[in-house]
Amino acid sequence: MAPHVANLEELEEVEEELEKSEMETLNPSSLEKGDDDSQRKSLSKTTALFRRFFSPVFIQCFTMTFLAEWGDRSQIATIALAAAKDPIGVTLGGICGHAACTGVAVLGGKLLATKISERTIAITGGILFLIFAIHSIFFDL
């Protein structure tokens, strides 16, 4: 079985379990009165909105970006800037700057993916890393 098929099956199982547990938390008195239909519709709309916003892609990108940025030089510089200047301005500037940088990366990556194969990009990246490694061995900077 392909890994993505197994992941989809596991995701469906988890979704079914979540729906069961959500239905169990409904108010029993309202179930007796017949109000469960409106609650179920409201609950399913909320769940659908939550699943749409927090998709697996969103969670993967958030985790990757968070871990990549945690403790790097730009974060340290942002901490120092926030200590010396207006924290709200620093926060808004950081969010806008990071959004612009990420937006360019996403759009550039999408455009690049339509022009060049993923295999070519991987091979080129690997060769560049080897060149940088050899350079760092022979030239101490």
- Whether residue 134 is contained in a domain is answered as no
CA distance 118 to 33: 58
Q: What band does 21 get if pLDDT is binned at 50, 70 and 90? A: low
Domain count, the chain: 1
Range of the structural domain that residue 40 is part of: 1-53
- Whether residue 63 is contained in a domain is answered as no
What is the per-residue pLDDT for 109? 84
Answer whether residue 127 shows pLDDT above 80: yes
- Whether residue 46 is contained in a domain is answered as yes
Q: What is the pTM of this model?
A: 0.46
Mean residue pLDDT of the chain comes to: 78
DSSP string, 83-114: HHS-HHHHHHHHHHHHHHHHHHHHHHHHHHHH
Residues 6+ positions from 65 with CB-CB distance below 8 Å: 102
- Whether residue 108 is contained in a domain is answered as no
- Could you tell me how far CA 93 lies from the centroid of its own chain? 21
